[in-house]
Chain A
């Protein structure tokens, strides 16, 4: 029987997952009770020494905690103990806000740069210098001027989201096919109509690609930013659980960050496909 390509890939994926989990389980399993140990010393050292139990949680430990999170993701038991769903919601909210602020700034500015060679030349040095700066380097400046940690992390997201969108928009607008612009010229199309009916749809796929890069970077940066500013968010959660020495929770957080990051990327990918035109 010949399996379809997708099915074969899926089977291989599952097999790899099972192999990985099994290795993980075996590697973190206890090696049995250490017999000849002074009971006083054993008490001092804990399970790691007495039963050879690894400090690293096994997949079953992680699974148990994952189940706990999934069963009640939105609980609030005081400021330092909130469900992982709430922490993720904080992070997603900050990313969304910073991202949309970046869209509002980057797309019109990108159009300006793309349409005007003068602006392109004039703004180029600023963009070249600002773009390689790690967004977290802005954090102290943001905290000092904004004086609010939540808004500061949104600002950091804004800063890191702006550049890919800006450069992609400017590039796409500057490289709209000459013949489409010539059509608009021979039809005496007004500037606004030209921008919205010709340039924007022509440039949309490249602009959306820039946005997709932006949201991926934003999701990378939010974790680090929240570790710095603390309070709420998945980044804070990771740092908090590290301080609690709850490695199982940290691994859970990594899983959730990965899944949400993938979902954000897929969402933008879906929108990109909507505006992509076959030629």
Chain B
């Protein structure tokens, strides 16, 4: 078995409980991500999605297990893995271009300021904010701020993009345009993306695979849904795809019913969570290897 691009092996996160024992948020978390893949993770609040992402980002430590990226252990933050934060996390005292250039010159410290700005402008234009370079974040709308957050993450040309519910604070219309933006930017690049979302449609539109987590505590990966919709799917025509509703119903059914009292099916192996499809070709498919 060849090593995937990202290998999350037996991750667990435990907190000391008041009674002296410990509370396990999630455990036995195994997941491999291939280069260029877009993986979404869905689950209810408290299942540890954000913790998984933070451990992958290097911002948090796992209580057990390890993550390998290209065979090398992940033991801290890295410029190879850029994070788009839920709350955009722009520095309010810096203008748009300074925010992005700050990331650029962190990546390439030898770059002159003017060159860093030029590089930053390229990515600001990429997210459709050309002309707003000199503005301060406070002058931007929520959607524009998150665009800057995406530009900042992309500007360091990472191998992997980590997004923690990046659009959850936005209104539906803005969210839609930003999802299109992400689709457009990712087409023609082999960027690997790991994204947390609460939005089922967002996951169906963007993800190649959708990881379903049971409720915490003691959360785990219940199964991984393989998205069988065509690669060139569009937001406008998503609902016309024959597999769309079966996939959507499968996800909702999991979130509403099965996530609460998930019973591992016969032969369930946390090392290889079952990969399933919904729709015409519904059923359990073989694990990713």
Contact = CB atoms under 8 A, between A and B. Distances in A.
Given A278-B136, A278-B138, A187 B79 contact: yes
Contact of A187 (B85, B136, B137, B156): B156
A185 B77 CA distance: 6
Contacts of A193: 106
Nearest to A201: B93
Given A187-B156, A278-B138, A198 B91 contact: yes
B59 interface: yes
A183 B81 CA distance: 12
B146 to A, nearest CB: 13
A277 interface: yes
B138 A279 contact: yes
**Secondary structure class of chain A's binding surface, majority of residues:** helix
Contacts of B93: 201-202, 204, 275, 277
B276 to A, nearest CB: 33
B87 interface: yes
A186 B91 contact: no
A44 to B, nearest CB: 71
B89 interface: yes
Nearest to B57: A186
Contacts, number: 58
B268 to A, nearest CB: 34
A183 B91 CA distance: 9
B92 A187 contact: no
Given A186-B59, A187-B102, A187-B156, A179 B85 contact: yes
B96 to A, nearest CB: 14
Interface in B73-124: 77-79, 81-83, 85, 87, 89, 91-94, 102-103, 106-107
Contact of B77 (A188, A197, A279): A188
Interface in B202-240: none
Nearest to B139: A278
Interface string A246-264: 0000000000000000000
B138 A197 contact: no
A189 B106 contact: yes
Contacts of B85: 179, 182-183
Given A185-B58, A187-B156, A201 B107 contact: no
B92 A279 contact: yes
Contacts of B94: 201
Contacts of A278: 92, 136, 138
A75 interface: no
Contacts of B58: 185-186
B136 A197 contact: no
Contacts of B83: 182-183, 186
24 contacts: A177-B89, A179-B85, A180-B89, A182-B83, A182-B85, A183-B83, A183-B91, A185-B59, A185-B77, A186-B57, A186-B58, A186-B59, A186-B78, A186-B79, A186-B81, A186-B83, A187-B79, A187-B106, A187-B156, A188-B78, A188-B106, A193-B106, A275-B93, A278-B138
Interface of B: 57-59, 77-79, 81-83, 85, 87, 89, 91-94, 102-103, 106-107, 136-138, 156
5 cross-chain pairs, A with B, having the tightest CB-CB distances, nearest first: A179-B89, A187-B106, A278-B138, A277-B93, A277-B92
